[in-house]
Amino acid sequence: MTAPYDPNDREKVVAKLPVQLRRELKIRAAEVGMDIQHAVTAGVKAWQKTDSHPTVDTAGGSSFSTYLPTGLYAELKVSCKARGLTYNQGMAQAIRGWLDATPSPRRATPNITGTRRLIIGNQKGGVGKTSVAAGVATALAENGNKVVLIDFDPQCHLTRQLGHQILDIEEPSLAKVMLGETNQDMRSLLVPIKGGDFEDRLWLLPGCKDAFLLDARLATSRHVRIRETALEKALEPLEEDVDYVVVDCPPSLGYAMDTALYYGRLRSGEEPNSSGIVIVVLAEDSSADAYDMLDEQIQDLADDLDIDIPSLGFVVNMYDSRKGYVATSSLDSWREIGEPRVLAVIPELKDQREAVRVKKPLLVHAPYGEQAEAMRNLAREIS
């Protein structure tokens, strides 16, 4: 008889698994809305009940860690020994079995038209737009989508945080294409983001300081339509190959932001809210003031150009209930707005700060942390 265990009492376990199996597990768990540790637990329990399982090729496996209920790890090792299997093989078979028993709910043909465009913005700086843009893009790519991240902020924090060099002021850049100073294809400027279970599906368009010139140069454009469509025309070639374009916007209400909002508008043939703006805020009053100004800009632009710019929702970032009434009551206020709704609450933890310090994506530096899971939940809410 096996010893009983408390399912809430878990211990960390480590195995070496093939990269493809790990990717499938992360993608499928995200698709069905289940934490990885619960998916693995279900797989191990099912594996124990059946003696015959196909062998999984574990050659070239890399380290994978998760949490199993205390006692289940020991049971798994005993079962593996009795069946003449290595622990890594037993874990791989359990995960393979769970994947086979849990089909993907994803529709074969998504009911949307074209590439989805996520504009990550707020007029207020310091709310963590860049970390949210990188986090949700990484999570979407981890979930099997092809994603391009656009560093549209002249401060270039996104490019630096991911460990890449910003484009030289004399090189072709997004701003130069928007201003008609070069006809460079944006695809030639993309750099792959590596290191996680999203490799080969995530790219960065690095930032360049010349984006500081955009507002002044766009303001002199004689034709409003040309001005507002500048970003869309520059990024159009990218949409041929990807599922999502995620734009990290500057903390500004200028013409550059107008081009980003226009890019996120509802296009003909698209489902409502398939693209739009994700508004990053903090649980304090200054974020609310900044949102009021951004909302006015969105409504004015929509009215002037007769377009629909969907507000997909709020991300309450760097939340810490220990800050007391100001934080908790502010979070309640964001939720009480109703529409747009709160998509996610990202906790204030050291994981993201450490990821920035070591120049790695959050889902690479701390893939099983609370912040990483919050980013995955955000991606599920949007997708």
Q: Are residues 257 and 215 in the same domain?
A: yes
Q: Are residues 221 and 80 in the same domain?
A: no
The domain that holds 46 is classified in CATH as: 1.10.1220
Q: Are residues 149 and 61 in the same domain?
A: no
Rounded Cα distance between 176 and 164, Å, is 20
Check whether 224 has a pLDDT greater than 80: no
**Does any domain span residue 4?**
no
Q: How many domains is the chain partitioned into structurally?
A: 2
Q: Are residues 55 and 144 in the same domain?
A: no
Percentage helix, strand, coil for the chain under 3-state DSSP, each rounded to 5: 45, 15, 35
Q: Which of 73, 101, 129 is the last residue of a domain?
A: 101
Q: Are residues 143 and 97 in the same domain?
A: no
Q: Are residues 34 and 150 in the same domain?
A: no
Q: Are residues 276 and 324 in the same domain?
A: yes
pLDDT tens, position by position, 335-374: 999 889 999 999 999 999 999 999 999 999 999 899 999 9
Q: Are residues 67 and 91 in the same domain?
A: yes
Range of the domain at 258: 116-382
Q: Which of 101, 127, 148 is the last residue of a domain?
A: 101
pLDDT tens, position by position, 93-152: 999 999 989 887 754 333 345 799 999 998 878 899 999 999 999 999 998 999 999 999
Q: Write down the pTM of the prediction.
A: 0.74
- DSSP labels, 176-213: HHHTTS----GGGG-EE--SSTTTTSEEEE--BGGGGG
The domain that holds 139 is classified in CATH as: 3.40.50.300
